[in-house]
Structure formats: structure tokens, C-alpha cells
Structure 1
Amino acid sequence: MKKIIYLHGFLSSPLSLKAQLTIEYCQQHYADSIQIVAPQLANYPEQVAEQLAELFEDKQNILGFIGSSLGGYLATYCAKQTGLPAVVINPAAYPYDLLANYLGEHQHPYSKEFFTIDDSFNLSLRQFDVTKQELQALKISVWLQTEDETLNYQEAQDKYQYNELNIQAGGSHAFDDYIEHLPAMLQYLFNSQA
């Protein structure tokens, strides 16, 4: 059985709507062939790096990655590290710039853990960065909605300009009508296998 790794966004969880819809859809349609692995990502970048490294140890059984928002940024890194395809949904192109506006202590809404965002946190996030030039060699399908209230979709449109772009007018950061597009997203992962 092949695995698809689902990576959630900032202050999110495997219990988020998109993660749950992905799990449920694959259980209904690919129960014998696909398992969705959706880890609860740690709050600090260094711990996330360790989590991802552990996932890569099972590379031969991974079909690809799906990531939303900050998870899209991380899924891009995963694609670079493994050579496997990724689908990124309203990805954070430069999260370390965005989170510069979130300095201070936060409580994770799902885990209830407290953590602090500071300059070193954002500097550590840069370890996952993939340049526009590096992206050209990667198999990545990018899904953007223009009315994303959290991220400027044009940043991702520019960064991923050499990848497959699916841009929809309207929508939101949560990616409206996600379940309707999930079959095409999964098909991209299936079709991108070497």
C-alpha cells in the first residue's frame, strides 16, 4: 500500500476539514491501495525537520505529498528532498516573511500547547525554502484561489511559475470546494510517478 503524506498549515491539524476530507475520500475510493498519513506537525521548525526526515525513511512507499498553506511550503521541500510529486494548496511562498507579523507567544488551537515565534523561529523556517530555479525540476501541482484572505496568491503564482498552476477566481484561504478538486489532485500524484 502506498502512502500520501498530508501536511497541514500553521495552527492547524490532521483534524482540519481538508485533512479529514482527504482521509475520508481515500478510504472510500482507494481503501486497498492508498493510505493518507497526516502527522500533527510540531510547533517549532527544528522539530518539524526531524519529523519530515523520519517520514523520508519510508520513501519507497510514498506516492507523494499534499500540503496546504504552510504545509504547502513544507510539501515543496519534501518534493525537493525526495524527488516525489507534490500538490500544494494556497501555499505560503515565503512564510518567514508572513510570520514576522506574528511575533510573540501563541497557543495552538488543537494541541493547546504554547510556543513562541521570534526571529530565530523565522530564520529556522528558511531551511525548508526551495528557490524558483530549483522548482523547475520538481513535479508540483499548485492550486490557488484569488480571494485568499491570508496569503497573496500572486506570490505563489510567481514563485511556482514553472510548475503546473491551477488558479481559480474567488475562493478563500481554506480553498472553497476542495472536495470537488481532490480527485484531480490525486490523479496528478498518480500520473507523476516515474
Structure 2
Amino acid sequence: MIIYIHGFGSSGFGGKASLFREYFEDEVITPSLSYVPNLAIDTLEQIIEAFLNKDEKVALVGSSLGGFYSIYLANKYNLKAVLINPAVYPYKTLDKIGMAMNYYDGSSFEVTKEHIDSLKAIEVTQIENQENFLTLLQTEDEVLDYSEAADKLNESELIIEEGGNHSFENIESYFRKIGSFLGV
């Protein structure tokens, strides 16, 4: 089972999540996660453990903040993961925010110091088994500096595409490669 982990302020109904559901059908789930990091991680751990307890194979696809979560979870459970323009230092990016908006329903929420601290607490400083990661980056990401992810994940299977944006233009052109990498 592939668990698609959306980015900050997004949902399991976002554009990329919908594309993944359309292509991978019943091989993917796209949960909508809380903006509170501890709650999001707890939800994901429960989902992963439920599948693993049924002896099902689990793989992750994480976009932006979902990539950060995927690094943590893939290391904890020794899973394969595809990272799409991952946030590798989200506590730096989000530390500037305060009030933020959910892109799916337009609701607003506040990013607190506790949220930032909880992100720092799950940071993986030494990524184990980088061969378990496929990292997809676009150089014109307007939110994150792609080179930070390239540096941190330099031993992963790394694809750096010129241009693009934070959403990762034409992600669907990589679906076959993603499926092959994850073994689905």
C-alpha cells in the first residue's frame, strides 16, 4: 500500500493526491492530516502499523512537508519512500508563518512554537538507508531551496529537473518510475 502524504496546508483531496489516486487506484491512500505535526505523525504511524500488522507492504510518497514526515517514517519503519520537493528543514520555513491557510477548504490556523518544536523533535539528522529513497526535485521551487534537499539526500536516487515549481509540474510523467521504485 502506498500512503501519499500531502504537504503543509493541503489535504488528501489536493491536486497531486487526486492524480495519485487516479493512477494508482486501490494501491494508494491519501489521508487528510492535521496541521498539528504530532497529530499528523500519530495518524500516519497508526495507518502504517495497521498495514504492517496485516503483513502488507507499505511505501510512502511525501510532498513538501509530507516529504519531511516521510523521511522520519521511512527511517523508523525501514520503508521505501518517494520524496517530491521535500521540506528538509520545515521548522525554518514555517517559523516565519504564524497564521496560515488550508488550501482545500480555505480555513485558517496558527502555526505555534509547539508545532515548530515538534518538527525539530522528529528531524532525522542522519538518514539511514538512502537507497530506500527516490527524491524528485525541481529547481524553480518557489517555496523551498531544492539544493538543501539535494545535499541532505545526496545518496538517494536523485532526480533534479530544471524549471518547474513547488507543486512539481507534470508529476504524472514519473508515475511509472514511482511505481517501479516502490514495487507496485
Same fold (TM over 0.5): yes
CA pair 15-73 structure 1, distance change in 2 beyond 3 A: same
Two-structure CA RMSD over aligned residues (Å): 1.7
Is the contact between residue 83 and residue 138 of structure 1 (CA under 8 Å) also seen in structure 2? Answer: no
CA pair 47-138 structure 1, distance change in 2 beyond 3 A: farther
Show CA shifts across 1:31-75 (max 9, x none): xxx521111011101211210221122223233000100011111
Aligned residue among 110, 115, 118 for 2:112: 118
- Structure 2 Cα separation of the partners of residues 167 and 175 of structure 1: 11
Partner of 2:22: 24
Structure 2 spans left out of the alignment, 5+ residues: none
- Structure 1 Cα separation of the partners of residues 89 and 112 of structure 2: 16
Alignment partner of 1:45 is 2:37? yes
Deviation at 1:172? 0.7
Q: 1:144 is aligned with what amino acid?
A: L
Of 83-92 and 53-62, deviating more is 53-62
Alignment partner of 1:86 is 2:81? yes
Deviation at 1:136? 4.3
Structure 1 spans left out of the alignment, 5+ residues: 28-33
3-state SS of paired residue (2:27): strand
CA pair 136-53 structure 1, distance change in 2 beyond 3 A: closer
Please, what TM-score do these two structures have when normalized by structure 1?
0.87
Aligned residue among 146, 153, 159 for 1:160: 153
- Structure 2 Cα separation of the partners of residues 167 and 107 of structure 1: 29
Deviation at 1:183? 1.0
Partner of 1:142: 135
Aligned-pair identity (%): 35
- Structure 1 Cα separation of the partners of residues 105 and 76 of structure 2: 28
Partner of 2:12: 14
Is the contact between residue 6 and residue 39 of structure 1 (CA under 8 Å) also seen in structure 2? Answer: yes
CA pair 35-12 structure 1, distance change in 2 beyond 3 A: same
Show CA shifts across 1:106-151 (max 9, x none): 34232454432122210111232112x3344551110000011110
CA pair 137-163 structure 1, distance change in 2 beyond 3 A: closer
Partner of 1:128: 122
Is the contact between residue 79 and residue 138 of structure 1 (CA under 8 Å) also seen in structure 2? Answer: no
